[in-house]
């Protein structure tokens, strides 16, 4: 065993063990590590958003090229952003509602457009497959499998008519496709978490304790 002499490695190892201590029970060490993680993450993202969003898109155009390309219009989002801080003052808290209302109105509209173009349209395009590909039996079977799964799953969510007969059988087939999809998604998530766990254990054994030589 060759313990690391790096202070940063020791801090990372102790914080990792502090988080792992929750496997035994909730304790002060875990709470300390949790609060450090949340606080550092919040501070990091505040600084990141300032230098990657606020400064280049608002402050630099306003203070370095105010009249160029109608940058004076940026005074409007600047004022709306300042109004958000009125929540800290009880008597003027109502002013922040204007900014919040604009955010809640514009953001969903932008997201709907983005999802429509990036997800819905692409998914529809991805299901427009040939039912017969000469010389490629595997591709043909895969296309049929995808289309049958898509249609049967859509039938399952068709609640305007009772699921009986052929409609009910197709809906049940759609349930099987859904279960396979959910199971695969869950398995992928578990696999990703296990991969993260292996990474932290390898860090403790190799970088901190030095008992594992790669």
Does pLDDT of 214 surpass 70? Answer: no
122: in domain: no
- Predicted pLDDT of residue 212: 73
Q: How far apart are CA 94 and CA 100, in angstroms?
A: 10
Write down the H helix ranges in 2-136: 7-20, 28-49, 60-64, 75-84, 96-115, 121-126
**Average pLDDT over every residue of 32-52:** 96
User: What domain count does the chain have?
Assistant: 1
Read off the pLDDT of residues 80-131 as tens digits, 9 standing for 90 and up.
999 999 988 888 889 999 999 999 998 888 888 888 887 888 888 888 889 8
Domain that holds residue 200: 129-214
203 inside domain: yes
Would you say residue 55 lies in a domain? no
Please tell me the predicted confidence (pLDDT) of residue 127: 86
In a domain, 4, yes or no: no
**Domain assignment present for 189:** yes
Structural domain includes residue 168: yes
Task: Report d(CA 16, CA 27) in Å as an integer.
Answer: 14
User: Does 96 map to a domain?
Assistant: no
How confident is the model over 2-26, as pLDDT tens digits? 888 899 999 999 999 999 999 999 9
Instruction: Specify the pTM.
Output: 0.71
């Amino acid at each position: 065993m060759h313990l690391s002499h790096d202070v940063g490695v020791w801090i990372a190892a102790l914080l990792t063990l502090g988080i792992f201590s929750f496997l035994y029970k909730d304790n002060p060490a875990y709470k300390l590590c949790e609060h450090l993680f949340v606080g550092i993450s919040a501070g990091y993202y505040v600084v990141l958003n300032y230098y990657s969003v606020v400064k280049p898109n608002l402050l630099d155009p306003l203070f370095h090229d105010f009249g160029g390309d109608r940058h004076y219009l940026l005074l409007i989002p600047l004022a709306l952003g300042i109004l958000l801080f009125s929540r800290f003052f009880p008597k003027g808290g109502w002013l922040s509602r204007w900014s919040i209302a604009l955010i809640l109105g514009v953001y969903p509209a932008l997201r709907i457009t983005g999802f429509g173009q990036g997800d819905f349209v692409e998914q529809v395009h991805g299901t427009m497959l040939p039912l017969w590909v000469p010389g490629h039996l595997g591709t043909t079977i895969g296309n049929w499998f995808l289309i049958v799964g898509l249609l049967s799953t859509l039938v399952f969510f068709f609640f305007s008519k009772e699921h009986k007969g052929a409609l009910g059988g197709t809906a049940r087939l759609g349930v099987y496709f859904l279960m396979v999809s959910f199971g695969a998604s869950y398995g992928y998530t578990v696999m990703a978490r296990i991969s993260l766990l292996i990474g932290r254990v390898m860090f403790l054994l190799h970088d901190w304790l030095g008992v594992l030589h790669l």
